[in-house]
Amino acid sequence: MTAAASGSPTERYRRERPPVSRECGEELTRITDDIDDPVVKLRYLQGALNKEGDKSALVQFVPIPPARRAWYRLKGLLALDGVADEAVANRTLAARKTARRVVVGTTAAALLFVPVLVAIIAWQVNKWSSDAPEPMASTVGSSTEANATAIESATAPLAVQPTLTAAPVEADVTVNQAPVAEPLEAEDLGIVPSMLWLADRGPDWELYSNGLRIETAYTVKGAPRNYRVHSRAGQLLPTRHSRPIGILFHTSESDLWPLEPDYEKELRRGSEALLRFVRREQAYNYLIDRFGRVYRVVDDESRANHAGHGVWSRGGEVYLDLNSAFLGVSFESRWEGGRTLPITRAQLIAGRNLTHYLRQRFSIAPEMCVTHGLVSVSPKRGLIGYHLDWARGFPFEAFGLPDLYSQTLPSVSLFGFNYDSEFLRTMGERWPGLIAAERQLADEARERAMSLDDLRRERQAQYRRWRAAIPTPTSAEPELETPAPQTADRRG
């Protein structure tokens, strides 16, 4: 074998000897300061490296740097015995003793420290497991039964509200509520920007001039909007509409984790799971997560399955197909009976910016920005409040909107829908618009010399006739393009 084939002696040396650590090299170099003869110095270094061998690699796993350096220095000083004279050995005797004390001391300290560290870790893990709360289980879309159950939130502060059960028994319990959103400054309330525009956009987002950012990665296309409106006289008006006329605000009623740094992973996973569900069910047009991120889910030209059976009116127009007529905007939150504002400040600001954008884009009147709890009805039972999210507590003023809790409730005044004791236990009290609608219905019953119950039955039969006159999404008239199939509405 030629020299070229086998490599030079230096190359063979480098291949055969593993490299030493930086700390080992520094300690051996310091020791050679006591050796004056360069030949002896070189012989010492070679001998010290050969003597260390695999031991040097093992020392690298010692977790305490001073202990590692002391070990390297001790082994290096011991290696002097084979190459240095007696004078050098005597000069390094004190250094050897010091190195031995450091190695022994740090080893003993480590042996004592490790059990203590293990005990601390075990105690902390046990504390985390005992303190971690269970997420609040629910599904998107509340019902009267779900809203009639007092749910313990995963976050403070505390508030007192009655226990809500199906049985006619009332009791007081302490219930954890979601944090109250910080109020906006008085000068900010009701301010609506005069003009908005698209400032920037990317593959999966849009940015608007009021700071609104809409994430579009989850957007899907649903069945096109296609609806007609009734007049108050009962006539189904001929005009067919394909643009939204209003906004309907919801809460997701989904699982929630405490909004705290220790639950970052759970918070992200919860929001992602909710987004996947909403996308699959085409449940809302927009979802605002707990950090104020706005997601467009079902595009604006498509109807989402968010409203179920609902009633709203404006002037001489009555709206019964709210899935098509209204955009669904949901906050990732739980309504919790409306005792506290169930959204964060980030959600409040994002929701207000989104409302301003949608109102400007579709020329939506402020009185057509309403909440799910104000419009929802149960036709089979003849009751309002089939869904109760935002039946109280929505911050209309902060959104620059009129207080629709004071507007006469059309489901009661027009169609005679009633409520039961379970509704009252959940709500605690009637809102002003409901009281005004009941008074209006009672006045009409007296004028017509009929009982209030008979008037209610007459009006509810009228609702069923009006509702039946509305074409379903799958029974389009000949002049209209047949809508694409859509997910069934599971929200009542």
Q: Mind listing the pLDDT tens digit for each residue in 9-68?
A: 444 333 444 556 666 777 767 777 666 666 666 666 666 666 555 455 566 666 667 767
- Is the full-model pTM beyond 0.75? no
Let me know whether 112 and 200 are in one domain.
no
Q: What string of DSSP letters covers 239-251?
A: --B-S--EEEEEE
Alpha carbon distance 124, 200 (integer Å): 47
Residue 478 domain flag: no
Cα angle, residue 212 at apex, residues 210 and 215 outer, rounded to 5°: 160
With H, G, I as helix, E, B as strand and everything else as coil, classify residue 221: coil
Determine the pLDDT at residue 101. 72
On whether the CB atoms of residues 358 and 247 are closer than 8 A, the answer is yes
DSSP-assigned beta bridge partners for residue 158 = 176
Q: How far is CA 310 from the centre of its chain?
A: 28
CATH code where residue 432 lies = 3.40.80.10
Let me know whether 160 and 62 are in one domain.
no
Q: What are the tens digits of pLDDT across the range 348-392?
A: 999 999 999 999 999 999 999 999 999 999 999 999 999 999 999
Give the contacts of 255 (CB within 8 A, at least 6 positions apart). 135, 136, 137, 138, 270, 273, 274
For residue 325, the enclosing domain spans: 144-468
For 5, half-sphere exposure in the C-beta direction (CA atoms, 13 angstrom radius) is 2
Determine the pLDDT at residue 83. 60
Let me know whether 33 and 162 are in one domain.
no
DSSP-assigned beta bridge partners for residue 378 = 383
DSSP-assigned beta bridge partners for residue 409 = none
Let me know whether 34 and 148 are in one domain.
no
Residue 482 domain flag: no
User: Is the per-residue pLDDT at 224 higher than 90?
Assistant: yes
Let me know whether 155 and 81 are in one domain.
no
Q: Where are the beta strands (DSSP E) in 101-163?
A: 158-162
Residue 223 domain flag: yes
Residue 483 domain flag: no
Read off the tokens for 236. Answer: 């189904």
Q: What are the tens digits of pLDDT across the range 246-286?
A: 999 999 999 889 989 999 999 999 999 999 999 999 999 99
Alpha carbon distance 77, 75 (integer Å): 5
Residue 198 domain flag: yes
Let me know whether 54 and 175 are in one domain.
no
Cα angle, residue 375 at apex, residues 275 and 222 outer, rounded to 5°: 40
Let me know whether 336 and 221 are in one domain.
yes
Q: Considering its fold, how many domains does the chain have in total?
A: 2
